[in-house]
């Protein structure tokens, strides 16, 4: 239990370091802060997932604008845009205290589940601190609460 609390505290520190450090659209790139960011455009899938404690939501004030889930088996991020408001949904996160490496999964404006696979790049047994953003063009329009999940 102490180990989990310690990991959570370390991951919470990552949120501060992570803010503003995740940008770009390359597969893995270094941004101006010198931090590696693994960025993927989510691929559409016909599969759907069960919503559980590993899921997070973002609203547009009155209803859900999007949802995302992290599934530790395979280190996959699932995203879905649920509002036809011209905004796109993305997930940003990190696995350690200094915010590196970072992870970014972004989708398009279409509904339906899309998935990013970070299995080959995400460290095993670490805490993944992540949140959901909604964007209109290059302007951030909202951020969800943070979630912490252990990778596998």
Report pLDDT digits (tens) over 65-110.
999 999 999 999 999 999 888 889 999 999 976 667 899 999 987 7
Beta-bridge partners for 107: none
Given a cut of 70, whether residue 18 has pLDDT beyond it is no
Q: Looking at the predicted structure, is the pLDDT value of residue 61 above 60?
A: yes
pTM for this prediction: 0.76
């Amino acid at each position: 239990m102490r180990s989990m609390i310690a990991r959570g505290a370390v991951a919470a520190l990552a949120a501060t370091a992570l803010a503003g450090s995740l940008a770009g659209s390359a597969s893995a790139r270094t941004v101006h802060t010198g931090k590696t960011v693994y960025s993927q455009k989510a691929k559409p899938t016909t599969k759907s997932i069960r919503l559980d404690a590993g899921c997070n939501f973002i609203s547009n004030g009155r209803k859900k604008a999007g949802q995302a889930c992290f599934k530790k088996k395979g280190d996959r991020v699932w995203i879905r845009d649920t509002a036809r408001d011209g905004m796109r949904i993305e997930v940003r996160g990190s696995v350690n205290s200094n915010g590196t490496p970072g992870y970014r999964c972004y989708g398009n404006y279409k509904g339906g589940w899309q998935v990013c696979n970070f299995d080959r790049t995400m460290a095993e047994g670490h805490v993944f601190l992540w949140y959901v953003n909604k964007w209109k063009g290059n302007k951030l329009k909202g951020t969800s609460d943070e979630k912490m999940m252990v990778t596998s």
